[in-house]
Amino acid sequence: MNPQQPQTEITLINTADYRESYANSVQVRVSLWDFFLLFGTINQSAPDKVSIANFQGLFLSPQQAKALANVLNQNIQQYETAFGEITLAPHAPGAVIQ
């Protein structure tokens, strides 16, 4: 019989440079050592003209990237259970998904 460990208390603190932003573009770059997430907003000024204004880049270890993927998948499943399936717009073959 194993005695239960006491639950760790976690305190969240926002730093002075904390900010919240909206992103509708996330680009991912991968290397042997890390994942780089580049967040931005897409502006389509014409059918054939798209600009992306990048505003934040984050480096994650491979372990933290996998943990993030697990948390996102879990929350997407909960969202779809509550509100219905999330559908993605079709894209042209070979197109980069942002």
Segment 32-84, tens digit of pLDDT: 999 999 999 999 988 899 999 999 999 999 999 999 999 999 999 999 999 99
Q: Does residue 98 surpass a pLDDT of 60?
A: no
Residue 52 domain-assigned (yes or no): yes
CA–CA separation, 16 vs 71, rounded Å? 26
Residue 54 domain-assigned (yes or no): yes
Tell the residue number behind the tokens 């050592």, with chain if given: 33
Tell the residue number behind the tokens 């992103």, with chain if given: 23
Residue 34 domain-assigned (yes or no): yes
Question: Strand 49-60 to strand 35-46: parallel, antiparallel, or no bridges (unpaired)?
Answer: antiparallel
Predicted local distance difference test score (pLDDT) of residue 5 = 85
Residue 25 and residue 40 in contact, taking contact as beta carbons nearer than 8 Å: yes
- Total structural domains within the chain: 1
Q: Which domain holds residue 29?
A: 25-83
Residue 58 domain-assigned (yes or no): yes
Predicted local distance difference test score (pLDDT) of residue 86 = 95
Q: Does residue 16 surpass a pLDDT of 90?
A: yes
User: Would you say the pTM of this structure is higher than 0.85?
Assistant: no
Residue 75 domain-assigned (yes or no): yes
Q: Does residue 96 surpass a pLDDT of 90?
A: no
Residue 93 domain-assigned (yes or no): no
CA–CA separation, 39 vs 27, rounded Å? 7
Residue 63 domain-assigned (yes or no): yes
Residue 68 domain-assigned (yes or no): yes
